[in-house]
Structures are given as structure tokens and as C-alpha cells.
């Protein structure tokens, strides 16, 4: 018979409600926990404790410290703690006291370490082997990988900048004026400022925003999500390159022994990880529109129409960034390069790319450039017809070798057709880039350079 859902607990209940695939299928447990109710409630209690401790230091009050200390051990109940365990009403900080400062600030230890290492595998494998960029020019595996890595390093710098620029909202009160705290301190502005400073330090922030409304400026969300969206564009570009190269069988992402590429076509080896990255990266890129619109339509000090969408877009942005980075790292660590396939493709196009070198060599031997160009043009058209119309190999070089007109340079053809003569300074650029990257990494993380 057909399946009949029930309203019970356990597995059946899970089938009756939507679950975000970002958490149920893809996200790391660390990032999923970062947006969990447990983490949220624990952070609230911790902030209340900081506030009470700071007020105690300033001699406002010594009450409820023990009860608040117990809140720090809260780790089970997903509902708000009983009101008796919270500070008195005039202590209670607005929820924007927390906002997402903590969430953003703690992300470095979760996925920032992934960034520099993502394309390390293709940098180490066949670093200098030529890649065919287009029929007009060659590049190398290492050079292309360095371009990927450079974009990731730019994202890392931007993430560091946003994280370092992030400030604590601080103890600003309901609408940001600190009026209630000024009243509690009998009009003593210095004590209000000291309370703000102490709680900021306890929360492990170096600075607090000087002015806020009911919330911190929603432009801060724009800054944070913009950096993540830019990271999404980077990952999409890298994985698109990998997918294109995989279609030409020059490169391949990891493929497990028992992995099935297609239920209908057993021979297929789809770049499923790269496809997943591209799919999720597009979602990440679009998320920046939400905070942009939210920031633009805030009325005066705040409207409450920012709450619901922020709960969704902020969490999804970080969860998605975490997923695509983790997947990209997995791809990079198992990426396979196939030099023989690359070589075969290069040899198909190299004769056409070498025509300019042939013309220059003939001119150096006293030939007329226009006459040489016409001879090359005719032979190239004949060779192209063999390839396009008959599916044969490119025989341009054989035609040049058989043509007495080119006799003066027949002995130079091997040198003129050396693929390494077409890649310019790509090897030197790669070596210099990696040297600088190593020096930078050693300076940032000397313990990892042993």
C-alpha cells in the first residue's frame, strides 16, 4: 500500500517537515552548531553574565551573579530560560546587543584555514606541464592553479578585513541612546562609558561602535555577505574550469572506487563535487541582495522587518560558504591531471600555433614574409580540412617538411614546435608566486612551517 505519514516521534516525524539541505546534507557540524539554538541561547546567557559582572565592577549591583553563572552552563533546553534566572528588567539588554557579532567573529577558526590550501594539489602535480588555453596560446597547469589560488587569497584577505573591522554593538540600550543605563548610574556618563568598555572587552572585541540605533547599521551585514558572495564567485569560477577540463579529460576530480556517475550510463564520471560547488555558489552569490535591500529600507533607527530575513540569509550565507569551501578542499586534495591527454590535444593544435614561428624563422633565413605567409596559409587550410572533414590528425608539419620552399628551416622544426617555447614566463611567475605565498604563510602560521 501507499505510505501513510503519522504524527509520531522519531523518524516518521522528520518526514513530515521541511529540513534545509544545507544542514541535513552538506554543512559541517561546526558550522551547523554555530547557528544552532543551543549556541544562541548559551551566547545570550554569556552576554547577560558579562553585563552583570561589568555592572558589579562598577558597583551598581551584586545581585543574581550566582544565578547568571548557572546560565552559562545552559546546554540542553531549547526554550528561553525561566524569567527568574534572567537579570532584572532594567538590566536586560536588547537582543541586538548580541546580533551576529559572535557568529561572524568565530568563523575564522572554522573555515578560514581552508582557503589557502584549496588548490594546493594542482599546484604540486605536473606544475609546469602546458595546458591549452585556446588555439592561439598555451599556459600551464601551475599557472592556471595560481590564478585560482590568487583569487582565494584575495577572498581570505577580505574575510580577514571584515572580521578585524567588526565591532561590538556594546551596551547601548534599546534605541542606542544608553538612556536607561544613564538613569541607572544617576546621570554619571563616565560609568556608562566604562560599562560599555568592560562588556566589550569581556566579549573579546577590541572596539565597540560609537553610535548605533536599535541595531548596528545593517550595512555591516552587507559588508559581510558581500565578501562571502565574492568567495562564491571564486569557487564557481574554479569549479567551472575543472568541469570544462574534465569534459576534455585533461583533469579529473576525485572519483571513489564504488562511486556511480550515472544510474543510466555506467561509464560516466561526472564531476559531481564541482557541480555541487557551482550549484551552491550560485545560491551564495544571490544572497547578498537580501542585506542590501534590508539596509536600504530601514526606517529611522530600525524597523522590525529586518529580523525574519536576517535569520535566514545570514545563516545560509555562512553555511553555504562553509560547504563550498569544504567541498573545494576535497576536490583539490584528490585532483588528478592527465598529461598524456593534454599532450595529445596540444599536438593537435600546436602546428597551427607554430606558424608564426615558422614565418619568423624563414624571414631570418632571407625569405619574403608575404610569400611565406601565403605558403603557410595554403598548407594550413589543407591540414584543417583533414582534421575537420575527415577526422584525421593535424599533418601541417608533415606538409611543411615535404615542401621544398621550407627547406632552409627543416632542421629547426623540432625547436620551433617545442611546447615550452609557447608558455612565456608562466613557470617563473608560478615559482615567484608560490615563494611569496610560502613566506606569507610562514609569517602568519610559523608553527605550520616546520
The secondary structure of 198-219, three-state, reads: HHHHHCCCCCECCCCCCCCCCH
Q: Which value, to the nearest 10 degrees, does the dihedral of the CA atoms of residues 337, 340, 342, 345 take?
A: -160
If phi > 0 it is left, if psi is from -120 to 50 it is alpha, else beta; for residue 266 that is alpha
User: So what's the pLDDT on residue 115?
Assistant: 47
Q: What are phi and psi of 130, to 5 degrees?
A: -65, 140
Asked whether residue 363 falls in the same domain as residue 394, the answer is yes
Q: What are phi and psi of 322, to 5 degrees?
A: -60, -40
Report if residue 67 sits inside a domain.
Answer: no
C-alpha 112/C-alpha 164 separation (Å) is 13
Asked whether residue 288 falls in the same domain as residue 225, the answer is yes
For 206-236, b where at least 16 C-beta lie within 10 A, e where not — what string?
eebbeebbbbbbbebbbbbbbbbbbbbebbb
Report if residue 349 sits inside a domain.
Answer: no
Give the pLDDT of the chain (450 residues) as one tens digit per residue. Answer: 444 554 445 566 777 888 888 888 888 888 888 888 888 888 888 888 888 888 888 865 544 444 444 444 443 333 344 333 444 434 444 444 444 444 455 554 444 444 444 444 333 333 344 454 445 578 888 888 889 989 998 998 898 888 888 888 888 888 889 998 898 889 999 999 999 999 989 888 889 999 988 888 889 889 999 999 999 999 999 999 999 999 989 889 987 666 555 555 555 678 999 999 999 999 999 999 999 999 999 888 878 888 888 888 888 999 999 899 889 988 988 888 898 888 888 878 778 878 888 888 999 988 899 999 999 899 989 988 988 898 888 888 889 888 999 999 998 888 888 888 888 888 889 889 888 888 877 777 665 545
Report if residue 249 sits inside a domain.
Answer: yes
Cell matching residue 179: 538612556
Asked whether residue 289 falls in the same domain as residue 413, the answer is no
The CATH number linked to 372 is 1.10.40
From the list 94, 54, 48, 45, the residue with the least C-alpha distance to 196 is 54
C-alpha 318/C-alpha 223 separation (Å) is 13
Question: CA separation (Å) from 369 to 162, 195, 308, 414, 415?
Answer: 57, 82, 71, 21, 20
User: So what's the pLDDT on residue 288?
Assistant: 95
C-alpha 256/C-alpha 84 separation (Å) is 55
C-alpha 271/C-alpha 141 separation (Å) is 18
Report if residue 318 sits inside a domain.
Answer: yes
Q: Is 390 a catalytic residue?
A: no
Catalytic residue among 24, 247, 262, 296: 262
Asked whether residue 367 falls in the same domain as residue 323, the answer is no
Q: What's the domain count of the chain?
A: 2
From the list 232, 223, 231, 234, the residue with the least C-alpha distance to 291 is 223
Asked whether residue 359 falls in the same domain as residue 333, the answer is no
User: So what's the pLDDT on residue 121?
Assistant: 39
Is the CB of residue 301 less than 8 Å from the CB of residue 292?
no
Query: Do β-strands 137-140 and 251-252 pair in parallel, antiparallel, or remain unpaired?
Result: unpaired
User: So what's the pLDDT on residue 259?
Assistant: 57
Asked whether residue 385 falls in the same domain as residue 324, the answer is no
Catalytic residue among 20, 28, 85, 133: 133
Report if residue 314 sits inside a domain.
Answer: yes
Is the CB of residue 170 less than 8 Å from the CB of residue 196?
yes
User: So what's the pLDDT on residue 416?
Assistant: 84
C-alpha 222/C-alpha 313 separation (Å) is 11
The boundaries of the domain holding residue 390 are 354-417
Asked whether residue 221 falls in the same domain as residue 294, the answer is yes
The H-or-E segment that residue 290 falls in is: helix 289-296
Global pTM exceeds 0.85: no
C-alpha 138/C-alpha 342 separation (Å) is 11
The H-assigned helical ranges of 166-288 are 179-184, 189-202, 219-247, 272-286
Asked whether residue 302 falls in the same domain as residue 359, the answer is no
Asked whether residue 359 falls in the same domain as residue 390, the answer is yes
C-alpha 31/C-alpha 39 separation (Å) is 11
Q: Is 262 a catalytic residue?
A: yes
DSSP 306-318: GHHHHHHHHHHHH
The secondary structure of 1-56, three-state, reads: CCCCCCCCCHHHHHCCCCCCHHHHHHCCHHHHHHCCHHHHHHHHHHHHHHHHHHHH
Amino acid at each position: 500500500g501507499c505510505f501513510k505519514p503519522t504524527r509520531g516521534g522519531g523518524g516518521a516525524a522528520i518526514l513530515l517537515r521541511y529540513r534545509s539541505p544545507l544542514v541535513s546534507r552538506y554543512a559541517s557540524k561546526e558550522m551547523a552548531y554555530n547557528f544552532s539554538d543551543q549556541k544562541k541561547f548559551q551566547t545570550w546567557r554569556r552576554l547577560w553574565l558579562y553585563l552583570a559582572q561589568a555592572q558589579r565592577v562598577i558597583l551598581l549591583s551584586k545581585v543574581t551573579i550566582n544565578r547568571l553563572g548557572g546560565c552559562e552552563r545552559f546546554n540542553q533546553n531549547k526554550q528561553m530560560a525561566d524569567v527568574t534566572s534572567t537579570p532584572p528588567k532594567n538590566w536586560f539588554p536588547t537582543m541586538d546587543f548580541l546580533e551576529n557579532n559572535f557568529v561572524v567573529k568565530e568563523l575564522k577558526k572554522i573555515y578560514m584555514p581552508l582557503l589557502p590550501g584549496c588548490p594546493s594539489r594542482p599546484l604540486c602535480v605536473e606544475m609546469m606541464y602546458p595546458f591549452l588555453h585556446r588555439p592561439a596560446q598555451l599556459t600551464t597547469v601551475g599557472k592556471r592553479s595560481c590564478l585560482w589560488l590568487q583569487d582565494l587569497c584575495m577572498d581570505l584577505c577580505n574575510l580577514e578585513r571584515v572580521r578585524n573591522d567588526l565591532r561590538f554593538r556594546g551596551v547601548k540600550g534599546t534605541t542606542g541612546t544608553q538612556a536607561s543605563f544613564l538613569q541607572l548610574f544617576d546621570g554619571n556618563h563616565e560609568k556608562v562609558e566604562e560599562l560599555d568598555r568592560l562588556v566589550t572587552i569581556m566579549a573579546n572585541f577590541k572596539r565597540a561602535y560609537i553610535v548605533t540605533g536599535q541595531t548596528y547599521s545593517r550595512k555591516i551585514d552587507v559588508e559581510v555577505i558581500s565578501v562571502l558572495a565574492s568567495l562564491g564567485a571564486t569557487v564557481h569560477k574554479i569549479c567551472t574550469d575543472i568541469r570544462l577540463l574534465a569534459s576534455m579529460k585533461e583533469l579529473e576530480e576525485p572519483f571513489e572506487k564504488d562511486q556511480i556517475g550515472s544510474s543510466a550510463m555506467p561509464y560516466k564520471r561526472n564531476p559531481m563535487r564541482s557541480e555541487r560547488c557551482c550549484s551552491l555558489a550560485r545560491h551564495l552569490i544571490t544572497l547578498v541582495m537580501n542585506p542590501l535591500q534590508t539596509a536600504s529600507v530601514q526606517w529611522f533607527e530600525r524597523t522590525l522587518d529586518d529580523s525574519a530575513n536576517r535569520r535566514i540569509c545570514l545563516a545560509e550565507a555562512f553555511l553555504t560558504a562553509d560547504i563550498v569551501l569544504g567541498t573545494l578542499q576535497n576536490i583539490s586534495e584528490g585532483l588528478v591531471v592527465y598529461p598524456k591527454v593534454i599532450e595529445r590535444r596540444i599536438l593537435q593544435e600546436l602546428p597551427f600555433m607554430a606558424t608564426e614561428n615558422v614565418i619568423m624563422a624563414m624571414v631570418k633565413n632571407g625569405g619574403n614574409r608575404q610569400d611565406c605567409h601565403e605558403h603557410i596559409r595554403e598548407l594550413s587550410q589543407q591540414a584543417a580540412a583533414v582534421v575537420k572533414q575527415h577526422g584525421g590528425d593535424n599533418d601541417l608539419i608533415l606538409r611543411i617538411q615535404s615542401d621544398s620552399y621550407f627547406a632552409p628551416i627543416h632542421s629547426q622544426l623540432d625547436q620551433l614546435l617545442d611546447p615550452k617555447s609557447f608558455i612565456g614566463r608562466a613557470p617563473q611567475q608560478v615559482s615567484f608566486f608560490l615563494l611569496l605565498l610560502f613566506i606569507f604563510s610562514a609569517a602568519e602560521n610559523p608553527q605550520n612551517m616546520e
